Structure 1
Amino acid sequence: MVDIKGNSTAFIIVDAQNFVLHENGFGAGWGAWKYAQEKNMVQRTVKAIEKARASNIPIIFVQMDLRPQILPAITQNLPDIDFWKPLREMDFSKITPEEGDFQGSIIDEFTPQPEDLIVTKYHTMSGFHNTDLDQIVRALQCDTLLFAGAVTNLCVESTVRGAFDRGYNCVVLSDCVASISEEAQNFAIDVIFPMLGQVCTSDELEIM
């Protein structure tokens, strides 16, 4: 079991957007959507969100966004690696505003409430890079951060590393994150996260 104090904790949910956690997301081919379905990650995270809300823990959604006005220039300069491959291959002139809104939206199951906070990051993995996430958490007087979202070994891990570097107590909910494969998931959960904080399932989390 992992015990945390609800009055000094925030729940950060990373990149829980349609582009990565919906079957019609342009990043569905990465595998996180399939993994999330197989492991019941979405439903477990819904319960974790409800648990946090019941203890008045602030919910912070970190979402990745793209600036459509400069996307052509950005995609031309992106490195030819797998993470950016879907963007490099997309013809943004054929994407309607409605489709763009769908891809960037938080999945329906996690629909943010009015009291929730949303932090937007542009073209980066870490939720702390060039955002006001650190200022928000400090203003909330939180020293402990819970983590959920996708992709476990990419944007979630980068954000956890950012939190660790800033001195926060980090707790990763192992059943509320989804990776591109079992191997990638297990390495992050078993090797990386224990060096940066604590790891537990949502059922193992005790809020005091």
Structure 2
Amino acid sequence: MTTLENRPNTALLVVDVQKGVVETAHERDAVVANVGSLVEQARRERVPVIWVQHSDEDLVKGSDDWRIVPELTPGIAEPLVEKNYADSFEDTMLETVLSGLGVGRLVVAGAATDVCIRSTLHGAFVRGYDAILVSDAHTTDDQTAWGAPPPDQVVAHTNLYWTYQTAPGRTAGTVGTKDVDFGGTA
């Protein structure tokens, strides 16, 4: 139901599942396994998989921490979008990639829930995309030392508020890994 014209396709957007981003993340292994299942399903169903990889002064491009986790391997023909800001659309080629693929609906997974996942979901939604969050395929680190809630509560809260996100002509929501439907509305 996207507001983008001639964009009937769906893509899986895998955000920042990098060694240094998820190394100590909440339920890291389960989330990475769920992302892996989504990637396999998308490939089987011929749904584009788009990888996003963050870099900044703390996550230096080319460093070991910058690399995608070893459990996941981007396909040779799968686009990889490099970014320097939380929103995967901001100052990147993501919109160009999605437009070229006719994508108007995103299924989003990855890290970190409270920064890049939230920013990317909102960035997609305000740009006219349908944006579905995979509720058990995103994670974050423990930021309680800086006043944030525990990571399980950050994930739960994000799932809660994205479930009820609305805007004219667009669809949002959450769905579990086992219930992802790349062909239709979640």
TM-score, normalization: structure 1?
Answer: 0.72
Between Structure 1 and Structure 2, whose CA radius of gyration is higher?
1
Counting only pairs closer than 5 Å after superposition, residues 107-186 of structure 1 correspond to structure 2 as 107-122=69-84, 124-180=85-141, 181-186=151-156
Aligned residue number for residue 35 of structure 2: 45
**In the TM superposition, what are the counterparts of 1:14-93 in structure 2 within 5 Å?**
14-22=15-23, 28=24, 32=25, 34-37=26-29, 40-66=30-56, 71=57, 87=58
- Equivalent residue for 2:175? 200
> Which segments of structure 1 move beyond 6 Å, counting only runs of 4 or more?
none
Normalising by structure 2, what TM-score?
A: 0.80
Letter in 2 for 1:51: Q
Unaligned runs of 5+ in 2: 1-7, 142-150, 167-171
The residue number in structure 2 matching 1:81 is: none
- Compared with structure 1, are the counterparts of its residues 59 and 168 closer, same or farther at alpha carbon in structure 2 (3 Å cutoff)? same
Amino acid at match of 1:200: V
CA RMSD of aligned residues (A): 2.0
* Identity within the alignment, %: 26
Output the amino acid matched with 1:137. Answer: L
Q: What pairs with 1:100-111 in structure 2 (closer than 5 Å)?
A: 100-111=62-73
Alpha-carbon distance in structure 1 between the residues aligned to 2:32 and 2:13: 15
Partner in structure 2 of residue 25 of structure 1:
none
3-state secondary structure, aligned to 2:90: coil
Distance 2:163 2:114 in 1: 10
Residue 8 in structure 1 maps to residue 9 in structure 2: yes
Whole-angstrom CA distance in 1 between matches of 2:76 and 2:90: 25
Q: Which has the higher contact order (CA 8 A, sep 6+)?
A: 1
The alpha carbon displacement at 1:130 in A equals: 0.5
Cα distance in 1, alignment partners of residues 161 and 10 from structure 2: 24
Q: Alpha-carbon deviation of 1:193?
A: 5.0
Q: 1 CA distance for matches of 2:39 and 2:118?
A: 20
Cα pair 2:22 2:140 within 8 Å, conserved? no
Aligned pairs, number? 162
Whole-Å separation in 1 of the counterparts to 2:44 and 2:126? 29
Query: Is the Cα contact below 8 Å between 2:162 and 2:173 reproduced in 1?
Result: no
The one-letter amino acid of 1:166's match is R
